[in-house]
Amino acid sequence: MLPWQDATWTGLADASRLPHALLFCGPPGIGKRQFAERLSIRLVCERESACGACRACRLASGGNHPDILVLRREEGKTEIPVDEARALNEFLALTPHLAPRRVVLIADADHLNRSASNALLKTLEEPPASSYLLLVSDSPARLLPTIRSRCQRIVLPRPTTEEGRAYLEERGIPDASALLALTHGAALQAEAWPRDTPAMTARLIASLEAVASGVESALDATETWQAVDLDVGLTLLIEIAAGLAQWALAGATGRAWPGEWTARLRVLAGRLDLGQIFRLWDEALEARGLATAPLDRRLVWDRLFMLVEARV
């Protein structure tokens, strides 16, 4: 159990009083899926505690419990198709094999397509006895309003800065504070990011500084960044642009950037006008949305760095 989830877990202690449908939401990287998985295990546990020792817990932990069904997007797919939702309905219509109840966990609920959503809605309107649906969503607004209205929403918390830092440091991850700043405190997302992410962020800030001050041209900076993984580079640029916008509008970033980055972002925001900053942010977001397409990295980075070139 992740330490920042203890209070939520305690609040759901009595399985007999749980509603039939729960929607776990919150930003990516805070442990929503892990929480829902643990709850699914508790619902089939012989001691109703996710004890980890009984046969039911061992089967569930290995993904082999016959009364738990997990649905998620297939690798490379953007949607959960209707066939998956129909399989869910068929699964819940059966009598439990070992446990007193059957559980379905939908790990990417906001990616149900329209037909799958409608099929799920029928189950939510008339849930079979002794059945539970656990939905996990980064973007609950993408779900049908009728699905949201039939689920009890549980908003899982982010870790505090101290909790997030302790979690990463216990796992030997360096530059925990920098990673947490980049991921807005999402400790599991920070854990999954490459270890050189803070150093790469510092280099990208330096490239933007050089182009904005006229030390380098956009083409010079592109020579460095065209070899970088485009999705990673654009993700970092989006976070930097957001920080610049906060400095330009409010005189602060609103999050705990490392001290050196804070000073550099403040100076860089002063070199750019607000239009440049927002165009950089918008175009980085647009490019990242197309990152799976066969884009020419050189052209992408040329365009982005040209937006911050020194005005003469």
Query: What span, in angstroms and rounded, lies between the C-alpha atoms of 296 and 67?
Result: 48
Q: What is the pLDDT of residues 106-141, one digit of tens each?
A: 999 999 999 999 999 989 998 888 899 999 999 999
CATH class of 3-155: alpha beta
Q: Is the pTM of this model over 0.95?
A: no
The pLDDT score that the predictor gives to residue 15 is 65
Average pLDDT of the segment spanning 212-223: 94
Mean pLDDT, the chain, as a whole number? Answer: 91
Question: In which residue ranges of the chain is CATH 1.20.272 found?
Answer: 194-306
pLDDT grade for 93, boundaries at 50, 70 and 90:
confident
Contacts for 150 with CB less than 8 Å, ≥ 6 apart? 21, 121, 124, 125
Query: Which CATH number fits the domain 194-306, given the four candidates 1.20.120, 1.20.272, 3.40.50, 1.10.1660?
Result: 1.20.272
The pLDDT score that the predictor gives to residue 205 is 96
Q: What are phi and psi of 68, to 5 degrees?
A: -120, 130
Q: What are phi and psi of 48, to 5 degrees?
A: 55, 40
pLDDT grade for 267, boundaries at 50, 70 and 90:
very high
Decide if 50 contacts 38 (C-beta within 8 A).
Answer: yes
Question: In which residue ranges of the chain is CATH 3.40.50.300 found?
Answer: 3-155
The pLDDT score that the predictor gives to residue 289 is 83
Rounded CA Rg of the chain = 23
pLDDT grade for 57, boundaries at 50, 70 and 90:
very high
Residue in 281, 271, 277 with CA at minimum distance from that of residue 311 = 271
The pLDDT score that the predictor gives to residue 280 is 96
Q: What is the pLDDT of residues 222-257, one digit of tens each?
A: 999 999 989 999 999 999 999 999 888 877 766 778
Q: What is the pLDDT of residues 147-196, one digit of tens each?
A: 999 999 999 999 999 999 999 999 999 999 999 999 999 999 999 999 99
Average pLDDT of the segment spanning 257-273: 89
Given a cut of 60, whether residue 312 has pLDDT beyond it is no
The pLDDT score that the predictor gives to residue 148 is 95
Contacts for 190 with CB less than 8 Å, ≥ 6 apart? 29, 164, 168, 173, 176, 179, 180, 182, 183
Given a cut of 90, whether residue 58 has pLDDT beyond it is yes
Instruction: Please report, rounded to a whole number, the percentage of residues in the chain having pLDDT higher than 70.
Output: 97
